[in-house]
Amino acid sequence: MSSDGVNKGRRRFLVATTSVVGGIGVGLAAVPFIKSWMPSAKAQAVGAPVEVDIGRLKQGQLLKVQWRGQTIGILRRTSEMISELQKTVEVLADPESVEADQPEYVTGDPRALRPEYLVVNMHCTHLGCVPQMVPEVGSQPFDDNWNGGFYCPCHKSKFDLSGRVYKGVPAPTNLRIPPYSFLDDRTLMIGVSPQGAV
Protein backbone atom coordinates (compact mmCIF):
# COMPACT_ATOMS: atom_id res chain seq x y z
CA MET A 1 0.00 0.00 0.00
CA SER A 2 1.35 3.42 -0.89
CA SER A 3 1.95 6.12 1.70
CA ASP A 4 -0.80 8.19 0.04
CA GLY A 5 -3.33 5.41 0.74
CA VAL A 6 -2.23 5.17 4.40
CA ASN A 7 -2.42 8.97 4.85
CA LYS A 8 -5.92 9.13 3.33
CA GLY A 9 -7.06 6.31 5.66
CA ARG A 10 -5.60 8.06 8.69
CA ARG A 11 -7.10 11.35 7.61
CA ARG A 12 -10.58 9.81 7.27
CA PHE A 13 -10.21 8.10 10.65
CA LEU A 14 -9.09 11.34 12.36
CA VAL A 15 -11.86 13.40 10.73
CA ALA A 16 -14.51 10.83 11.72
CA THR A 17 -13.19 10.53 15.29
CA THR A 18 -12.94 14.29 15.72
CA SER A 19 -16.46 14.75 14.35
CA VAL A 20 -17.89 12.15 16.75
CA VAL A 21 -16.04 13.59 19.78
CA GLY A 22 -17.04 17.13 18.74
CA GLY A 23 -20.68 16.07 18.33
CA ILE A 24 -20.71 14.49 21.79
CA GLY A 25 -19.11 17.63 23.24
CA VAL A 26 -21.71 19.89 21.63
CA GLY A 27 -24.49 17.62 22.91
CA LEU A 28 -23.12 17.63 26.46
CA ALA A 29 -22.62 21.38 26.39
CA ALA A 30 -26.20 21.90 25.18
CA VAL A 31 -27.80 19.94 28.05
CA PRO A 32 -27.27 22.58 30.78
CA PHE A 33 -28.20 25.32 28.30
CA ILE A 34 -31.51 23.62 27.43
CA LYS A 35 -32.18 22.79 31.09
CA SER A 36 -31.76 26.48 31.92
CA TRP A 37 -34.91 27.15 29.85
CA MET A 38 -36.98 24.88 32.08
CA PRO A 39 -38.34 26.28 35.36
CA SER A 40 -36.63 24.92 38.44
CA ALA A 41 -38.52 22.88 41.05
CA LYS A 42 -38.37 25.96 43.28
CA ALA A 43 -39.89 28.16 40.56
CA GLN A 44 -42.60 25.59 39.92
CA ALA A 45 -43.40 25.44 43.63
CA VAL A 46 -43.65 29.22 43.80
CA GLY A 47 -46.22 29.71 41.08
CA ALA A 48 -47.54 26.46 39.69
CA PRO A 49 -51.22 25.66 40.20
CA VAL A 50 -52.04 22.68 42.41
CA GLU A 51 -54.63 20.11 41.34
CA VAL A 52 -56.45 18.52 44.30
CA ASP A 53 -58.66 15.43 44.29
CA ILE A 54 -61.60 16.23 46.57
CA GLY A 55 -63.62 13.16 45.64
CA ARG A 56 -62.85 11.36 48.92
CA LEU A 57 -63.22 14.41 51.16
CA LYS A 58 -65.96 13.65 53.68
CA GLN A 59 -68.42 16.23 55.02
CA GLY A 60 -66.88 18.11 57.93
CA GLN A 61 -63.36 17.11 56.89
CA LEU A 62 -60.50 19.56 56.31
CA LEU A 63 -57.79 18.77 53.76
CA LYS A 64 -54.53 20.76 53.82
CA VAL A 65 -52.31 21.20 50.76
CA GLN A 66 -49.32 23.39 49.93
CA TRP A 67 -49.43 26.15 47.30
CA ARG A 68 -46.77 28.85 46.89
CA GLY A 69 -45.27 27.86 50.24
CA GLN A 70 -48.58 28.42 52.02
CA THR A 71 -50.96 25.99 53.71
CA ILE A 72 -54.30 25.97 51.91
CA GLY A 73 -57.27 24.38 53.66
CA ILE A 74 -60.16 22.79 51.78
CA LEU A 75 -63.11 22.29 54.13
CA ARG A 76 -66.12 20.30 52.96
CA ARG A 77 -68.83 21.93 55.05
CA THR A 78 -71.99 20.20 56.19
CA SER A 79 -75.37 21.90 55.74
CA GLU A 80 -75.31 22.59 59.51
CA MET A 81 -71.94 24.34 59.20
CA ILE A 82 -73.29 26.52 56.39
CA SER A 83 -76.40 27.42 58.41
CA GLU A 84 -74.22 28.44 61.40
CA LEU A 85 -72.56 31.16 59.31
CA GLN A 86 -75.49 33.56 59.83
CA LYS A 87 -75.26 33.15 63.61
CA THR A 88 -71.76 34.65 63.81
CA VAL A 89 -72.45 37.89 61.89
CA GLU A 90 -72.90 39.98 65.08
CA VAL A 91 -69.44 39.08 66.44
CA LEU A 92 -67.49 39.46 63.18
CA ALA A 93 -65.27 42.43 62.32
CA ASP A 94 -65.88 42.19 58.55
CA PRO A 95 -68.91 39.94 57.89
CA GLU A 96 -69.31 41.23 54.30
CA SER A 97 -65.59 40.66 53.54
CA VAL A 98 -65.17 44.27 52.41
CA GLU A 99 -61.52 44.42 53.53
CA ALA A 100 -60.75 40.78 52.73
CA ASP A 101 -58.08 39.55 50.34
CA GLN A 102 -60.18 37.33 48.08
CA PRO A 103 -61.13 37.02 44.41
CA GLU A 104 -64.12 39.10 43.27
CA TYR A 105 -66.02 35.95 42.25
CA VAL A 106 -66.02 34.68 45.86
CA THR A 107 -68.96 36.40 47.59
CA GLY A 108 -71.56 36.05 50.34
CA ASP A 109 -71.40 34.38 53.75
CA PRO A 110 -69.92 31.10 52.44
CA ARG A 111 -67.04 32.95 50.68
CA ALA A 112 -66.95 30.12 48.16
CA LEU A 113 -67.73 29.20 44.56
CA ARG A 114 -69.77 26.30 45.96
CA PRO A 115 -71.07 26.78 49.53
CA GLU A 116 -70.13 23.22 50.47
CA TYR A 117 -66.39 23.82 49.86
CA LEU A 118 -64.37 26.50 51.63
CA VAL A 119 -60.93 27.02 50.06
CA VAL A 120 -58.88 29.23 52.34
CA ASN A 121 -55.30 30.24 53.08
CA MET A 122 -54.84 28.81 56.57
CA HIS A 123 -52.29 31.37 57.76
CA CYS A 124 -53.60 33.80 60.36
CA THR A 125 -53.59 37.38 59.09
CA HIS A 126 -51.94 38.49 62.34
CA LEU A 127 -48.51 36.81 62.29
CA GLY A 128 -48.97 33.84 59.98
CA CYS A 129 -49.58 30.99 62.44
CA VAL A 130 -51.87 28.22 61.19
CA PRO A 131 -55.14 28.19 63.19
CA GLN A 132 -56.77 24.97 64.33
CA MET A 133 -60.20 24.03 63.04
CA VAL A 134 -62.63 23.65 65.93
CA PRO A 135 -65.92 22.71 64.22
CA GLU A 136 -67.85 21.79 67.38
CA VAL A 137 -70.58 24.26 68.34
CA GLY A 138 -70.74 25.06 72.06
CA SER A 139 -68.70 26.41 74.92
CA GLN A 140 -64.94 26.27 74.41
CA PRO A 141 -62.08 27.39 76.70
CA PHE A 142 -61.52 30.37 74.37
CA ASP A 143 -65.21 31.24 73.69
CA ASP A 144 -68.37 30.50 75.70
CA ASN A 145 -70.63 30.90 72.64
CA TRP A 146 -68.57 29.22 69.94
CA ASN A 147 -70.38 28.47 66.66
CA GLY A 148 -67.54 26.52 65.10
CA GLY A 149 -64.61 27.90 63.14
CA PHE A 150 -60.86 28.40 63.31
CA TYR A 151 -58.93 29.30 66.46
CA CYS A 152 -55.32 30.49 66.44
CA PRO A 153 -53.71 29.47 69.74
CA CYS A 154 -50.63 31.66 69.08
CA HIS A 155 -52.40 34.95 69.88
CA LYS A 156 -56.04 33.88 70.29
CA SER A 157 -57.47 35.13 66.99
CA LYS A 158 -60.80 33.56 66.00
CA PHE A 159 -62.45 33.05 62.61
CA ASP A 160 -65.80 31.53 61.66
CA LEU A 161 -66.26 28.58 59.28
CA SER A 162 -65.87 30.97 56.34
CA GLY A 163 -62.60 32.33 57.68
CA ARG A 164 -64.14 35.67 58.71
CA VAL A 165 -62.35 37.31 61.63
CA TYR A 166 -63.99 38.02 64.98
CA LYS A 167 -64.07 41.50 66.52
CA GLY A 168 -61.47 42.36 69.17
CA VAL A 169 -58.78 39.84 68.20
CA PRO A 170 -55.20 40.52 66.99
CA ALA A 171 -55.88 39.36 63.40
CA PRO A 172 -56.75 42.47 61.35
CA THR A 173 -58.61 40.83 58.45
CA ASN A 174 -60.42 37.71 57.32
CA LEU A 175 -58.38 34.70 56.22
CA ARG A 176 -57.32 35.03 52.57
CA ILE A 177 -59.05 33.14 49.77
CA PRO A 178 -56.70 32.07 46.95
CA PRO A 179 -57.77 31.97 43.31
CA TYR A 180 -59.28 28.57 42.54
CA SER A 181 -61.69 26.75 40.27
CA PHE A 182 -63.38 23.40 39.86
CA LEU A 183 -62.27 21.25 36.94
CA ASP A 184 -65.12 18.83 37.67
CA ASP A 185 -67.05 17.51 40.69
CA ARG A 186 -63.96 15.70 42.03
CA THR A 187 -61.11 18.03 41.12
CA LEU A 188 -60.17 21.47 42.40
CA MET A 189 -57.42 23.65 40.92
CA ILE A 190 -55.74 26.08 43.32
CA GLY A 191 -54.05 29.02 41.62
CA VAL A 192 -56.37 29.21 38.60
CA SER A 193 -59.54 31.32 38.52
CA PRO A 194 -62.66 30.03 36.76
CA GLN A 195 -62.75 30.72 33.03
CA GLY A 196 -63.99 34.22 32.37
CA ALA A 197 -63.51 35.37 36.00
CA VAL A 198 -61.60 38.56 36.72
d(CA 125, CA 127): 6
DSSP state of 11: H
**pLDDT at residue 34 in the model:** 52
| 82-139 pLDDT, tens digit each | 998 988 899 999 999 999 999 999 989 999 999 999 999 999 999 889 999 999 989 9
Task: Give the chain's mean pLDDT.
Answer: 86
CATH topology (fold) of 43-190: Rieske Iron-sulfur Protein (2.102.10)
| 30-63 pLDDT, tens digit each | 656 555 554 445 544 556 899 999 999 999 999 9
* pTM (predicted TM-score): 0.74
d(CA 58, CA 113): 18
Query: What's the Cα-to-Cα distance from 106 to each of 58, 73, 95, 113, 121, rounded to whole Å?
Result: 22, 16, 13, 6, 14
**pLDDT at residue 43 in the model:** 46
Q: What residue ranges do the domains of the chain occupy?
A: 1-38, 43-190
